[in-house]
Structure 1
Amino acid sequence: MSNPITRLWTAFNPPHVEKRKDVIRFGVLGAAGIAPLTLIIPAKSHPEVFVQCIAARDRKRAEAFAKTHGIPEVKDSYQEILDDPTITAILIPLPNSHHHEWALRSLAAGKHVLLEKPCVSNHKEALSLFQHPILTPSPSNPTPPVLLEAFHNTFHPSLSLFLSYISREDIAHVDTASMIPWWLTSKADIHFRYELAGGSMMAMGVYSFSALRYVFGASPEECTRCETKSYTDGMHDKCDWQFEAEFTFPGDRKAVARSTLRGPTAWKPKVPDEGLGEGMTKVRSREVTLWGLVHAVVWHRVDVVDVFEVRGKDGRVVKTWTEKKSEKKYEVRDGEQWMSYRFQLEEFVNRIKGRETRWWVEGEDSVEHMRMVDMAYVKSGLGVRPSSGFHLE
């Protein structure tokens, strides 16, 4: 299915399948714009998932959302969803500042939780959530609920393809960049509200930070530099709309992450030329680039460039050549082009059902991702995003 129009049509218009008797019934907290991508669209082709109900602060908005997306029930409150014994799992696409509270409330109600990224507002909240006793098996709680931070891009096979070309012990430098066009954001967005844990690092930066950890297979030791741009109107000045952060990973290896929420319409990030360190000699150097990290179903490509050198006895280069190749990894199942969200939902259900998962975002990963965010915000001078102050009794 190489035709991009056909690929996107089947991804965003999957077939409706018959649901099984043991279907997982979802409740959605908030009529958020990301909910259709995260759950409602991929649920159509999953025989074990049904979106049963939704609630929002504005009931009329919830009713309109439910009508548009074919959700049969509208509840009066988030808590009413949690109190419904027929609801098995919860999607939380609320503003970042509400993630910690409603994830804990949902888990306490015995519900599995698919939690939009970033999982919480800061590292302290991440520790509180993912290390909470409610997630640990015990005699009174032998099968704890499943909690997954929805880093959907992690589940697309393009990332696994990219990582297959990397030898972690040979990595010297990693660069990652992302953006949202300027015309898709405005100063009024929740991205620029500090009390809602906004900022470009929270919006797009977490994708870059998680990618760096997966590439190195480790967490950074230090954020050595973080430069930001933000509105300077006294109201939004703590929320960056652009950042560039540099990290040091074990072995004195470097990485740079950059993103903007006010990018150009047409964009291609510059691939840095790091060159060789003093005294280094290479037989082969490899540069691997993954284009389309976040929305691989729209378009992605993995480029591999190998540079070979043959040196004589005196050390002079007698021959140099370059080999290049590119690969893509789209996956079609039953006539449907699976997007990253569909892969994610498949694995979430597999974990709930006790089946094997081939890829997963572990709680430890979510905690470490937020530690990176805090490191960068501290280095930038903007400060970490505020905690909600919620504690589960």
Structure 2
Amino acid sequence: MSLGQLKRIYTAFNPPAVEKSKDALKFGIIGAANSAAWALLIPAKLHPEVVVHAIAARDRKRAEEFAKKNNVPVVYDSYQDLLDDPEIDCILVPLPNALHFEWAVRSIRAGKHVLLEKPSVSNYIEAQTLFNLPELDAPNAPVLLEAFHYRFHPIWSLFMSLVTPADVVHVNTFSMIPWWFVNKDHIHFNYNLAGGTMMGMGTYNFAALRLIFGAEPEECISADVKAFTEGVHHDCDYEFKAKFRFPNGCIGEAFSTLQGPTIWYPSYATVTHRQVEVPDKTLPPSQKKFVTREVTINGFIHAIFWSRIDVKEAFEIRDKETGRVVKKWTEKRTQKAYSPKEAGGGLANLEGEEYWMSFRYQLGAFVDKIKGRKPAYWVNREDSALQMKMVDMAYEKSGLGIRPTSKFQVN
């Protein structure tokens, strides 16, 4: 690990605080989840228009400890007490998956903007209800965003600029968490809380497939899982490998485990394009040039630690009349983008530093949407609903069944 990399990572978790504006949005956090630090507390230090104002947890003592540790000024006895506070503009919902639906709905109906941890809900049934709430289409409607943070990072934008969805024929995705990081009693492995690896890391893989193909899967061909069978852990996959058929017979594969090897291995997505003809005016009229491009994004889920794009292009020159290959060669290159400037393109002028995590870019987009500014990137409601439809497809194919639907009723 280089000195520059160490400095970037250290600054990412210990960022310089910025002066807050007078009209800064006040956030409340529902639940004292550890993930709130990444999703909001750290990026909020870097955003002049965000103040973390309050927290509520099921355990008042835990909320007080969280507030003291993170300098959150107000602690409430209940989630509803926090929602009833007229000073709160926005809510972060980092609760267990099974509680996302209820508290996203309650927050929206309280007139709060909602930053909702992924996966947005437990299944497509809940997604259809949540993302079609009439309150979201009313004048001055609250903003709702599913927190798919990696999609906001500059390296993902650069990666997608190297992908031609119409020419993609195969995608392979990988993600993992080592066995020692998540034990069996974690909420990821609680069926009643909508646990399972496909609900956890797997959602990252599935979203990557949908974005790369620029289409929705037509079928889940296979979903092989390793799952717990007893107690509250029943039907919770701790590892899976799924294969999807996309339009035109294209194949997308996803592998993820929450009980991986001791040493962490970065996430990746490898994209194979079909061979296409490329113009080359230097060639004689009797010849044609073709290329097959493979693009791999490494470390895309948590790009701040380490990330890189590898591009491999296999070229061929053929005789037009006979189709004989006259010449063939391969070119390789790598690219990095820890900042918008490095990503270039439409992001070149976007604010951002190399130590900004994907969560900071996500928070910036969320605030821009609320303030009536156009975000550089956005995850719309239809996108989030279709994401859950894909998750359900895989769970149904696996035999484990979709995650249980909330008993909370939307009247």
In the alignment, what sits opposite 1:146?
143
In the alignment, what sits opposite 2:397?
379
Aligned residues: 386
Letter in 1 for 2:60: R
CA distance in 1, matches of 2:184, 2:233: 8
In the alignment, what sits opposite 2:167?
170
CA distance in 1, matches of 2:211, 2:194: 24
Change (3 A) 1:59 1:272: closer
In the alignment, what sits opposite 1:195?
192
The equivalent position to 1:352 in structure 2, one of 370, 379, 382, is: 370
CA distance in 2, matches of 1:51, 1:274: 43
In the alignment, what sits opposite 2:206?
209
CA distance in 1, matches of 2:274, 2:393: 28
Instruction: Decide which moves more: 285-294 or 259-268.
Output: 259-268
The equivalent position to 1:302 in structure 2, one of 284, 303, 309, is: 309
In the alignment, what sits opposite 1:43?
44
Query: Structure 1 residue 323 and structure 2 residue 296: aligned?
Result: no
Change (3 A) 1:369 1:276: closer
CA distance in 2, matches of 1:387, 1:335: 41
Render the CA deviation track for 1:257-316: whole Å, top value 9, x for unaligned. 110001113336798898989xxx982100000001110111110110000112234333
The equivalent position to 1:367 in structure 2, one of 382, 385, 401, is: 385
- Give the conservation status (yes or no) of the 8 Å contact 1:192–1:199: yes
In the alignment, what sits opposite 1:102?
103
Render the CA deviation track for 1:16-68: whole Å, top value 9, x for unaligned. 11111111000000000100000001101111100001011111111111111
- Give the conservation status (yes or no) of the 8 Å contact 1:14–1:336: no
Q: SS of the counterpart of 2:199?
A: helix
- Give the conservation status (yes or no) of the 8 Å contact 2:227–2:239: yes
Q: SS of the counterpart of 2:329?
A: strand
Letter in 1 for 2:367: V
Change (3 A) 1:347 1:57: same
CA distance in 2, matches of 1:92, 1:270: 27
Q: SS of the counterpart of 2:180?
A: helix
Change (3 A) 1:2 1:360: farther
CA distance in 2, matches of 1:80, 1:47: 26
CA distance in 1, matches of 2:22, 2:322: 74
- Give the conservation status (yes or no) of the 8 Å contact 1:10–1:336: no
Instruction: Decide which moves more: 25-34 or 315-324.
Output: 315-324
- Give the conservation status (yes or no) of the 8 Å contact 1:185–1:261: yes
In the alignment, what sits opposite 1:115?
116
Change (3 A) 1:158 1:19: same
Change (3 A) 1:263 1:319: same
Render the CA deviation track for 1:182-202: whole Å, top value 9, x for unaligned. 110111011111100000000
Please provide the CA RMSD for this pair. Answer: 2.1
Instruction: Decide which moves more: 179-188 or 7-16.
Output: 7-16
CA distance in 1, matches of 2:187, 2:25: 31
CA distance in 2, matches of 1:216, 1:272: 12
Change (3 A) 1:110 1:270: closer
In the alignment, what sits opposite 1:14?
15
- Give the conservation status (yes or no) of the 8 Å contact 1:15–1:336: no
Which blocks of at least 5 consecutive residues in structure 1 are unaligned? none
In the alignment, what sits opposite 1:92?
93
CA distance in 2, matches of 1:244, 1:260: 9
Query: Structure 1 residue 251 and structure 2 residue 259: aligned?
Result: no
Change (3 A) 1:210 1:271: closer
- Give the conservation status (yes or no) of the 8 Å contact 1:228–1:241: yes
Q: Percent identity between the aligned chains?
A: 55
- Give the conservation status (yes or no) of the 8 Å contact 1:310–1:317: yes
Query: Structure 1 residue 228 and structure 2 residue 239: aligned?
Result: no
Instruction: Decide which moves more: 323-332 or 212-221.
Output: 323-332
TM-score by length of 1: 0.94
- Give the conservation status (yes or no) of the 8 Å contact 2:56–2:77: yes
Change (3 A) 1:305 1:60: same
CA distance in 1, matches of 2:408, 2:156: 35
In the alignment, what sits opposite 2:31?
30
CA distance in 2, matches of 1:100, 1:201: 18
CA distance in 2, matches of 1:342, 1:269: 20
Change (3 A) 1:174 1:89: same
Change (3 A) 1:309 1:335: closer
Letter in 2 for 1:318: V
